[in-house]
Structure 1
Amino acid sequence: MEQVLELSYALDTFYFLMAGALVMWMAAGFTMLEAGLVRSKNTTEILAKNVGLFSIASLTYMLVGYNIMYGEGLNSIIPGLSFLVGADNTTAEVLAGGDDAPYYSNMADFFFQLVFVATAMSIVSGAVAERMKLMSFFIFAVALTAFIYPVQGYWTWGGGFLDEIGFSDFAGSGIVHMAGAAAALAGVLVLGARKGKYGKDGEVRAIPGANMPLAALGTFILWLGWFGFNGGSQLQISTVEDANAVAMIFANTNLAAAGGVIGAMIISRILFGKVDLTMILNGALAGLVSITADPLSPSPFSAAIIGMIGGMIVVFAILMMDKKFKIDDPVGAISVHGVVGIWGLIAVTFNNADATILAQLIGIASIFAWVFTASLIVWLAIKAIMGVRVSEEDEYNGLDQSECGMEAYPEFSNKK
């Protein structure tokens, strides 16, 4: 019996770590996607931004964020405050057995949750691209990963009030994706649009990205990483029931992404008369965001439909953000992760009998209100203290030189 418990513990810990490694690989996906969708003169800066934010998230979540999210709270709304990650489980605790015995390493859980908070911050990166000061972005990354994200994470995954009312978000359509989009929206509103994006009469001017192969590569990397994102959220794989659940989650995750591509492809063909690559790339991500709130309950066919609807929604959302609201989001992150994140949370009620629309709506409103308001306050404070936007000259010349002192593609530079 002891050998069985130890083997089960080792297997679940190993699976959890490998799932976390897949999610960490999503950082490369966001980096490549954003590097492809910005102009060449801003590529080095976007690369530095993504490497930096992951490192910041790793340290701040270790220092305080993890304990805020999973520590002892003052009540179901206000989490507690403590520092550093605690000790791991002992052999005696594992071999005690029973419902309260740990079945994977605490450090594996910390690592898995860490890569989720980094994902949320990566969403912000693309939305504020091409005009934000790099150090201002990094300071905001500290606030989001150390405090803003963990507080709302505590409300559900930490056993807070949203968990108590039955709000359901299996792998984070709201807790990760909509939260990241809410923080991004606050930043974009404070920052303003890129120079030349909108004309005097309000017309929208397209600013094409520099490298579509990189954008496509980034999408496929994210698609792959999402199997860890959703599959790892099952937490275990050592029983027949859990193994079957993980297999269903993988299948549904893939089908939702494929459905999102088809949905976006259909709508872009109808609206533009052509298949827009950027729209179908965002359609894949929209399908993935759509199914993240519940990748286990739907049938494979239902998962594909949920993803397809998400892919259709994201095309209209991107156009509305751009044309009607004049919200300049170079990569469509607010639409993909925010608007479609809301759809994913609502779609939970179609297949999960335990989820109610009231609980889902309360969760949506609570997460968005907290993250948007807290983020807006932080963005405004950074703006008042050190500014958030580069000069017009630096924006024109590109952030690669002004923020990083080097170009990503120096051989293509017109400068002598």
Structure 2
Amino acid sequence: MNTLFLINSMWVMLGAVLVILMIGGFILLETGSTRMKNAGHIAGKTILTFSIGSVIFWAAGYGLIFGRGNSLLGFSNFFYSGYDIDGMSLSGAVFFLFQLAFAGISLTIAFGGFAERAKLSVYLIFSVLFSLIVYPPIAHWIWGGGWLAEHGKQDFAGSTVVHLTGAMAALAATIILKPRIGKFNKDGSANNLAGHNQVFTALSVLLLWVGWFGFNAGSTLSVDKGFFGFVAVNTNLAAAAGTIAAMLISWIVLGKADVPMMLNGALAGLVAITASCAFVETWAAAVIGFIAGILVFYSIRFFEKIKVDDPISALSVHGTAGIWGTLSTGFFATKELATVGQPGLFYGGGLHQLGVQAMGVLVCGTFAFIISFILLSIMKAVMNGLRVTEEEEMIGLDLSEHGSYGYAELVKTEQKLNA
């Protein structure tokens, strides 16, 4: 066992830990972006669903993605038992944990579309189905040597595999569950059901930003030549540019520098650079992030206009930015850095790589949406609905689903009101 093997294993293990800690960022993001009567429910179900996803990934997900099979799916390596992988310069167990973390993040993103109105049982069942049926095929097609990999699809750390997949499942959920009570008026205008804690949301973005270094730089899977540092720089620049762009566009259009929009801009920049962080130069990373910050602003307004209730902005942050990030390599991937696929349009590659990227977006996005929609529709029929009752939603999921509030102060206030 050589020194490089050990150092690579330690580096990717650190990356896995950072990505798993992003679950904490998503807890704060989703909790801060919603109302306090659902805070405990959101925090608890996020830990629970990550636990379910972890077990399913161990039992079957890893094998479906990375097992020996065909261009559509893997069919071996189920119930992973800790063995190393031939030809890989790091511990097989570390690689397994790293990939498990990515699957868990995609599942967490998907549940953004369920927020404040889905039954707890829906989360439990869909965690299993998403981790078995939705995520593994797409991950295999791109990362497991499947048919999109054979076409040279570029997605270094998951703008498509992780983010777009989760966002399209969230879109299916928002459509089936329908908007929260009070979100839209009869005339179609929208009410602002503001999140209860912007400090939580800002802290979540910082935690996710730091975790993204594990997400992107960790995906190098090696410390050789220090390339992970370059990937980290691109990641940071895109996040910063996305923050600035979203702040500016909200200030210009709304007349105020909207804080939630600024935070969404940071996340959009991170999502967008995830596909291209190893394939583009630093100036392009800043451009990609800046464009993502503008896109997320208009995307959030678009979904609200068509009466899609997306409390966490998952569709825009992870869907729209994920699409842009995937397509961006078709423009900006350089000859020197494009170790997968071909250079982008601006580097003499013509439209070929852009076409491959667009095909990947269309196929993967459509697959994730349709399969999720079908699964949720079946669940709705079998489970007598996916949504809590109107009374339970008004009370809040903390009390109706768990019998206690996430904030003890709410109990004292309610007792005083009922006294």
What TM bracket, shorter-length normalisation? over 0.9
Number of aligned residue pairs: 397
What is the CA-CA distance between 1:271 and the residue it aligns to? 1.2
Contact 1:68/1:147 (<8 A) preserved: no
Q: Which residue of 2 aligns with 1:340?
A: 321
Distance 1:375 1:340 in 2: 20
Which of 139, 142, 148 aligns to 1:162? It is: 148
Alignment of structure 1 residues 378-397 onto 2, 5 Å: 378-386=375-383, 387-397=385-395
Which of 245, 250, 259 aligns to 1:268? It is: 250
Which of 3, 7, 12 aligns to 2:3? It is: 7
Gaps of 5+ in 1: 94-99
Which of 374, 378, 382 aligns to 1:377? It is: 374
Contact 1:16/1:235 (<8 A) preserved: yes
Q: Which residue of 2 aligns with 1:222?
A: 208
Distance 1:78 1:227 in 2: 29
SS in structure 2 of the partner of residue 390 of structure 1: coil
Which of 254, 260, 279 aligns to 1:278? It is: 260
Which of 49, 64, 82 aligns to 1:53? It is: 49
Aligned letter for 1:336? V
Contact 1:19/1:229 (<8 A) preserved: yes
What is the CA-CA distance between 1:30 and the residue it aligns to? 0.3
Q: Which residue of 2 aligns with 1:43?
A: 39
Alignment of structure 1 residues 394-413 onto 2, 5 Å: 394-413=392-411
Alignment of structure 1 residues 17-416 onto 2, 5 Å: 17-73=13-69, 75-80=70-75, 83-89=78-84, 101-237=87-223, 239-240=224-225, 243=226, 245-323=227-305, 325-352=306-333, 353=335, 354-355=342-343, 356-386=353-383, 387-413=385-411, 414-416=413-415
Distance 1:253 1:259 in 2: 10
Contact 2:330/2:355 (<8 A) preserved: no
Contact 2:156/2:275 (<8 A) preserved: yes
Aligned letter for 1:84? F
Offset from partner CA, 1:369-395 (integer Å, 9 cap, x none): 111111111101111111210000000
Distance 1:6 1:340 in 2: 40
What is the CA-CA distance between 1:87 and the residue it aligns to? 4.4
Distance 1:101 1:374 in 2: 34
What is the CA-CA distance between 1:293 and the residue it aligns to? 0.3
Offset from partner CA, 1:36-76 (integer Å, 9 cap, x none): 01101010110111111110111000000000000111x31
Distance 2:360 2:119 in 1: 33
Distance 1:13 1:257 in 2: 27
Offset from partner CA, 1:325-369 (integer Å, 9 cap, x none): 211000101110001100001111222241501110111111111
What is the CA-CA distance between 1:274 and the residue it aligns to? 0.4
RMSD over equivalenced CA pairs, Å: 1.3
SS in structure 2 of the partner of residue 415 of structure 1: helix
Contact 1:49/1:125 (<8 A) preserved: no
Contact 1:31/1:46 (<8 A) preserved: yes
Greater CA drift, 211-220 or 292-301: 292-301
Q: Which residue of 1 aligns with 2:339?
A: none
Distance 2:81 2:147 in 1: 24
What is the CA-CA distance between 1:7 and the residue it aligns to? 1.0
Contact 2:38/2:116 (<8 A) preserved: yes
Distance 2:74 2:279 in 1: 30
Offset from partner CA, 1:126-155 (integer Å, 9 cap, x none): 221111101111210111112310111100
Aligned letter for 1:342? I
Aligned letter for 2:370? T
Q: Which residue of 2 aligns with 1:97?
A: none
With normalisation by structure 1, the TM-score equals: 0.93
With normalisation by structure 2, the TM-score equals: 0.92
Contact 2:168/2:319 (<8 A) preserved: yes
Distance 2:76 2:303 in 1: 37
> How much identity, in percent, do the aligned residues show?
41
Aligned letter for 1:351? F
Greater CA drift, 195-204 or 146-155: 146-155
What is the CA-CA distance between 1:304 and the residue it aligns to? 1.1
Greater CA drift, 75-84 or 126-135: 75-84
What is the CA-CA distance between 1:81 and the residue it aligns to? 5.5
Distance 1:373 1:311 in 2: 28
SS in structure 1 of the partner of residue 188 of structure 2: coil
Contact 2:177/2:386 (<8 A) preserved: yes
Greater CA drift, 124-133 or 188-197: 124-133
Offset from partner CA, 1:307-342 (integer Å, 9 cap, x none): 01101100000000011x211000101110001100
Distance 2:73 2:57 in 1: 18
SS in structure 2 of the partner of residue 166 of structure 1: coil
Aligned letter for 2:414? K
Distance 1:291 1:150 in 2: 22
SS in structure 2 of the partner of residue 293 of structure 1: helix
Contact 2:65/2:73 (<8 A) preserved: no
Gaps of 5+ in 2: 336-341, 344-352
